[in-house]
Structure 1
């Protein structure tokens, strides 16, 4: 059961007047919306919930009461039609927000949620995307009702033509806008009818991408390469260790600790999804471990995070980002010395494992090695490296 009614607060304010409010009761829980108006007790018609004619501004105040009542009742009716549950607090929130319907206000909430989860790398990326969108809009406030298909397409064209971003990067910008829009709907800040995404509206389409990995011959070249500088050999050790452990991400490589290796196995928790992983330590990894410098007080295999407070997630993220950039620069020089003309980076280690594994390993086993939550993700990822079927089909047609 729910009810919405005008209400005169019995407690007087500092001017000895009684504030007028709208009382919302839902599931026996009340919420009050103060209208910013206060009157004397004898100026209130409690039977009709209106200000008496004796008050000089009775017409304006009563109109304000009617408007607020209508808005609250409309929220309740729409919720009933959509079979949506609204608490009294949610109805109040819809009505009293000074920044109701403002995209950038909700965007601040979105960024704060990311910061609270200590996802600082994601925070930096999302902050930049929102800043670029605000620069494109050229104003500090944007109502959700203004975000339509035409605006989204214009922004898309701006990113492609003016900022020269890739199609995949543009998709990421649109996902950010969509996520904030969904948050606004969830928080009852905006009506779902204004949603500009989906079928028949603006559709976010993911472009096909091609992941290129090194082949076994190229890996062998790296394993046997000579005349590297100490810095280049250090970066290559990180790359090969990532590859040997089925392409673990660089953030996980840099956070590997000496104590994670026990009984010829590696035990570590993935940074991305917090999954606990256990893998056999290949002989090739043992050679790398023997080569890495280790002191009595060493904690990590790689020195970049030594001495960093384990609770300082922002500093850890910054150190990882810097180390990755340095590794990638050195790996480009390593690839050049090895005569490899493919792009060389830490992430390519993961693609290289996928490229060499091909269809040699059952998809369920690859799912375990990749630590994917869904086998569908593994199938989609591995499809980038499977060409044997199409190659054979092509040969059957043209070799006559």
Structure 2
């Protein structure tokens, strides 16, 4: 006798979620197939052995469970017809080889995990990268054993020559493929011996990126610029506030509230890592605050998120993405009017602070200003703007 049933693992994982598994019992010996999805305990219907409607992706996950059950039952039926003596482990291996060993099936599970974390910006990016890989493969199925070094090299060439992508973007595509492959290994879907990444195989190379920021004179020009339209001035205010607070990210700038400014300090929580930050309000920021229009019931310095529920992560991300695009378009016009030939965007405010601070500020203090978790991250970032030692060393050699 054999049985195949879905069940929820009682022990939660590191994220306090419970993995969903298919349990196969044959001759009293169990084997387990983890479907790659984890949910909260209250989202599992114990009686019907399915995900409750309270989970946003219950339809997709329940369909995945049914697919696994169907494959397991077919393996049992075929074994009985052919009088095969299959153990629960062999049945599991048959299911894995027929279903899970498809790269794009694991990719679907990977995307669902991102969606469950409500990381919608990353979700859009990863969906696009997987779609491009599928276009390259020209097939909806790819066995992991076929995702080898040669195929990765061909895909890299495709991205560089056909898609005309820069090396850094190509590296990001390869990271997506590697992440999905690692997910397959962690779920025992494919073997470590087949892993095509790493030393002696396909190595993902990260090219040095050139970070260009504005200098002091260029920022002074922006501070004294006149003749801008109201929309251009509005975008410039957002850029300057970002710069004055050591390069606050645009997502944080747009979420700054009037109530965050008190006791001559700015108090806010970073969207990226949820850290609390408190910074002195520079006089230059106070002048901008006095110029910004504040309506009677307005909450935010900048109006883009007014009336939006911040718990609706997808809508918030869409609004921020649209606002960033609009600000960057206006900033390009501002730079043109200011006679600045560098590409100007909201993110350049962060690079500009790094460029001007150079080696004038201790690295530990810069770490605090940048809100980096590790001083190593600060050192790597600031290395883009430290030129004094190299310049002096060059002069010492050629100045004769």
> Could you say which TM-score interval applies, normalised by the shorter chain?
0.7 to 0.9
Structure number with greater Rg is 1
Alignment match, 1:327: 327
Structure 1: where are the runs of 5+ without partners?
1-6, 10-18, 40-49, 52-56, 73-91
Alignment match, 2:279: 279
Alignment match, 2:95: 96
User: Secondary structure in 1 aligned to 2:268?
Assistant: strand
Counterparts of 2:164 and 2:27 in 1: how far apart (Å)? 52
Q: CA deviation at 1:183?
A: 0.8
Counterparts of 2:83 and 2:274 in 1: how far apart (Å)? 56
Pair 1:22–1:273, CA change in 2 (3 A):
farther
User: Secondary structure in 1 aligned to 2:311?
Assistant: coil
Give a deviation string over 1:30-86, Cα, whole Å, max 9, x none: xx96565469xxxxxxxxxx98xxxxx5xx222xx24x46747xxxxxxxxxxxxxx
Counterparts of 1:325 and 1:142 in 2: how far apart (Å)? 36
Counterparts of 2:398 and 2:205 in 1: how far apart (Å)? 34
Counterparts of 1:275 and 1:131 in 2: how far apart (Å)? 34
Query: Any residues of structure 2 matched to 1:114-193 within 5 Å, and which?
Result: 114-193=114-193
User: Secondary structure in 2 aligned to 1:266?
Assistant: strand
Give a deviation string over 1:119-172, Cα, whole Å, max 9, x none: 111110010000000000000011111100000000000000000000000000
Pair 1:340–1:142, CA change in 2 (3 A):
same
Whether the 8 Å contact between 1:304 and 1:323 is mirrored in structure 2 is yes
Q: CA deviation at 1:8?
A: 5.2
Counterparts of 2:2 and 2:324 in 1: how far apart (Å)? 63
Alignment match, 2:49: none
User: Secondary structure in 1 aligned to 2:243?
Assistant: helix
Give a deviation string over 1:299-319, Cα, whole Å, max 9, x none: 111011111122221111111
Whether the 8 Å contact between 1:305 and 1:319 is mirrored in structure 2 is yes
Tell me how large the CA RMSD over aligned residues is: 2.3
> Do structure 1's residue 61 and structure 2's residue 113 form an aligned pair?
no
Query: Any residues of structure 2 matched to 1:1-400 within 5 Å, and which?
Result: 7=1, 21=26, 23-25=28-30, 34=73, 36-37=75-76, 57=81, 60-62=82-84, 65-66=85-86, 68=87, 71=90, 92=92, 95-97=94-96, 98-400=98-400
Counterparts of 2:122 and 2:393 in 1: how far apart (Å)? 43
Alignment match, 1:78: none
User: Secondary structure in 2 aligned to 1:279?
Assistant: strand
Structure 2: where are the runs of 5+ without partners?
4-23, 33-68
Runs of 4+ in 1 over 6 A off after TM superposition: none
Q: TM-score, normalised by structure 1?
A: 0.81
Counterparts of 1:109 and 1:131 in 2: how far apart (Å)? 15
Counterparts of 1:245 and 1:154 in 2: how far apart (Å)? 45
User: Secondary structure in 2 aligned to 1:343?
Assistant: coil
